[in-house]
Structure 1
Amino acid sequence: MGQRPSALWRRWRHHGTVGCLPRVRRDPRQGARPRRGARRVAAVTHAVYCDGDYLVGDVPVFGAFSPATRSGVGVFESFAGSVGGVPTLARHVDRLQWAAGRCGALPLPATDFDAVFRELHNRAGLARARCRITLYPSEVRPRLVCTVEPLPEPLADIALCTSPFRRGVNDPTSALKLESRAFYEVAVADARARGGDDALLVGDDGEVRETTRANVFLQHDSGSVHTPTLTDHFLAGITRAVLLEALRGRGHSVRERTVGRDELFDASAVFVTNAVQGVVPVRELDGRPLRRLARDEVWTDLLP
C-alpha cells in the first residue's frame, strides 16, 4: 500500500492553502467559471465576404478542383484597415480594377467596399485588421472575396538580402498583385536561408526595384528622399504614392530615379513601405549594417 497523504497535503486539498499561502481567488471580472467539461469557444478573429454572403471564422471557400486552388488565378489587394474605414480604399479598388483588366478578370462586380469592410470588422470583432480583396476570372465561383484578419505585429526594422533571381523586362506580371506568388516565395526563402527577413529584387544592372512585399526608399544626409523611378517592372505601391505626395506637400526634396544597390550603403537611412506595415526601416543589407532612423522618425506621421 502507498503512503497516506500528509496532514499538510490534506490541509491544502480541503482548504486551498499550504502553510500560510492563501488560495488564489478568481477575479470576478473574468465572469463565471466555465462548467467542468464545457467546450471552450475560440474567439472569432476572421470574417469573409463571398459574392454577397458573409461568413465568420477561417472557413474554406474553394473546392479542391477550383481554378483558384489549382492555378492561383486572381488578382488581389491587401492593406491595413479599421472599423472606421480605409482612407486609401478607393486607390486600392482602382488598382485592382486596372490589374483585372490586364489579366482578363473583369468586370469588377459593383460593390460598396467601404460598407463591406466595416461589416467584416464588426463580425470579426476587430478594431483594426489586415484587409484583402481578391477578384477571380468569371469562370471561378466565388468571384469576389473580401477578408479581414488580425494585423501582424509591427516590424521594428528588417534585414534584406539581395536576390540572385531576376525578372525579365518583358514579364507581364511584374507590376501585378497575383494570387500566384511563386517567384516571390522562392526569393523570400532564399533570403531567409541567408539570415534576412525579405529579398531585395534588383534588375540585370543592379538597379533597385522592390522587395517581395514593399517599395524601397533611401534618405540622404541633406534630407532629400529618393526612390526607384516607377516602371512596369515592379508594383506601383499605394503607400509609396501616398508618402511621395505627402513629402512633396510638406516641401521635402523628393526624387524618383534609377537607384543602384550600392547606394543603399551610403544613405543616411533606408526604409521600405507597404499598405499593411506602413514604413519600416532597413537595418542591414546582405549582412552589412546600414545607417538607420528609428521607426517613428521615418515619415510615419505623413501616412493616413
Structure 2
Amino acid sequence: MTQEFKIDPRNENILISVNGELLPRAKAVVSVFDSGFILGDGVWEGLRLHDGGIAFLREHIERLYEGAKAIFMDIGLTPDELVARLFACLDANRMTDGVHIRLMVTRGVKATPYQDPRATISPATIVIIPEWKSPKPEVVAKGLKLHTVNVRRGAPDVQDQKLNSHSKLNCITACVQAMNAGADEALMLDPLGFVATCNSTHFFIVRRGEVWTSSGQYCIPGITRSAVIRACRENGIAVFEKQFSLYDVYGADEAFVTGTFAGLVPVREIDGRIVAHPLAPKGDWTGIGPMTERLTGLYKALAKREAKRAL
C-alpha cells in the first residue's frame, strides 16, 4: 500500500489536539453528534514535518481555508491562530522530524443527526493528530501495483473532486476494488475515460523524457503534485498537465505516484503490465527509473527548503 508505514511505539503516548485541548490518544474523542462523524461534513489536510517545519505550510493552509469557504464553513480561527495551535501540539509532543500530521476540521456538533447546517450548535471541531510515521523502504524498493477500477472521479456538478472533504466514499470504494484485485492502489478515470488520479495519491507517467500528469480537473489540487511539477520546471524537465488514456499509460517508460506521506513512490505494474519502455526486454520490473529517482531527490530538497513554522 502507498500509505504503509513502520510501526512506532512512541505513537501510543502522543497528545492529540481536540479543539485546542491536548489529550492522550485514548481520551481524544469527538461527539457522536459531530458533523464529521454523522455526515463526513468537513475538510482536512495531511502535513509533513521536516526539521522542525511543515513542508509547503502556506499551500496546505490555503487549501484548507479555500475548501472551508467552498462549503460555507467557518473554521473559527484565523490561519495564523490555526498554525499556532498546530505547532503547540507538535511542540508538546517534542516532535521535530519524521512526523505526519492529520489536521481535520468539521462543521461542528449537531443538535440531532440531520444534514442541514442550521442544526449545528457548536463552533467547528478542529482535531490535530501528529504521529511519528515514515513509509516502509521496501514499498519504494518493490514499487506499487495499480489496478484501473470502474469507480470514476465524478464531474464537478455532482461533487467537485477538487474539494478535500471528509466524504471519501468513492475513493474508499475504488480502494476496495483495487485491493480485491490484488493491487496496492486504484487508478481512477475521469467521466470521459481519461486518467484522473489514484484513490489516495496523484499519478504521473514518464514518456520519452517527458513527465505527464492529468489535467487536474478531476482530483484535489495536490500539494506534492504541484511541488513535483514545480521541480520539473525549475530544472528544465518537460512536464505536461494533460488528458491521456490508458494506452499512453501502458506504453510509459516509468510511472510513479505522489502524496504528502511518502513523497514519490514508483509503480512497477499497471493492470498486469510491467512498467517499462515498449522496446525494453520483457521480464521483471527493473526498479526505480532514472527520472523518478531524479525527481525524488529534487522533491526532497524542495520540501526541506520549503519547511516553515509560520505562514
TM bracket, shorter-chain basis: 0.7 to 0.9
Task: Please name the residue that 1:258 is paired with.
Answer: 243
Q: Work out which of the residue numbers 188, 205, 209 in structure 1 matches 2:196.
A: 209
Task: Find the aligned partners of 1:297 and 1:94 in 2 and give their Cα distance.
Answer: 29
SS of aligned partner of 2:53: coil
Cα gap change, 1:153 to 1:216, in 2 (>3 Å): same
CA distance in 2, matches of 1:239, 1:283: 20
Tell me the CA shift for residue 66 of structure 1: 2.5
**Residue in structure 1 matched with residue 42 of structure 2 by the alignment:** 74
Q: How is 1:121-140 mapped onto 2 (pairs within 5 angstroms)?
A: 121-126=90-95, 127-137=97-107, 139=120, 140=122
Q: Which moved more, 1:168-177 or 1:267-276?
A: 168-177
1:167 deviates by: 3.5
Could you say if the C-alpha distance between residues 64 and 145 of structure 1 is closer, same or farther in structure 2, counting changes exceeding 3 Å?
A: same
1:119 alignment partner in structure 2: 88
In the other structure, the counterpart of 2:129 is: 147
Return the match for 2:297 from 288, 301, 304. 301
Identify unmatched segments of 5+ residues in structure 1. 1-40
Q: What amino acid is aligned across from residue 259 of structure 1 in structure 2? A: F
Distance 1:302 1:116, change over 3 A: farther
Partner of 1:182 in structure 2?
Answer: 169
C-alpha distance in 1, partners of 2:83/2:66? 19
TM-fit CA distance, 1:152 = 4.3
Contact 1:132–1:147 (Cα < 8 Å) also in 2: yes
- Structure 2 gap segments, 5+ residues each: 1-8, 109-119, 277-285, 304-311
Indicate the structure (1 or 2) with the bigger Cα radius of gyration. 1
Letter in 2 for 1:194: A
| Distance across 2 between alignment mates of 1:117 and 1:66 | 21
> Residue 69 and residue 106 in structure 1: after superposition, are their counterparts in 2 closer, same or farther (change >3 A)?
same
Q: 1:184-243 CA deviation, whole Å, 9 max, x = no partner?
A: 11110110110101110102432000001111111122x211111121x21110011111
The residue type equivalent to 2:131 in the other structure is E
Q: Is the 8 A contact 2:194 2:246 kept in 1?
A: yes
Partners of 1:74 and 1:81 lie apart in 2 by 23
Q: Which amino acid in the other structure matches residue 90 of structure 2?
A: H
Normalising by structure 1, report the TM-score: 0.78
Q: Is the 8 A contact 2:103 2:126 kept in 1?
A: yes
Give identity over the alignment, percent: 24
Gap change, CA 1:209 and 1:45, over 3 Å in 2: farther
RMSD between aligned alpha carbons?
2.3
Aligned to 1:200: 187
Helix, strand or coil at the partner of 1:174: coil
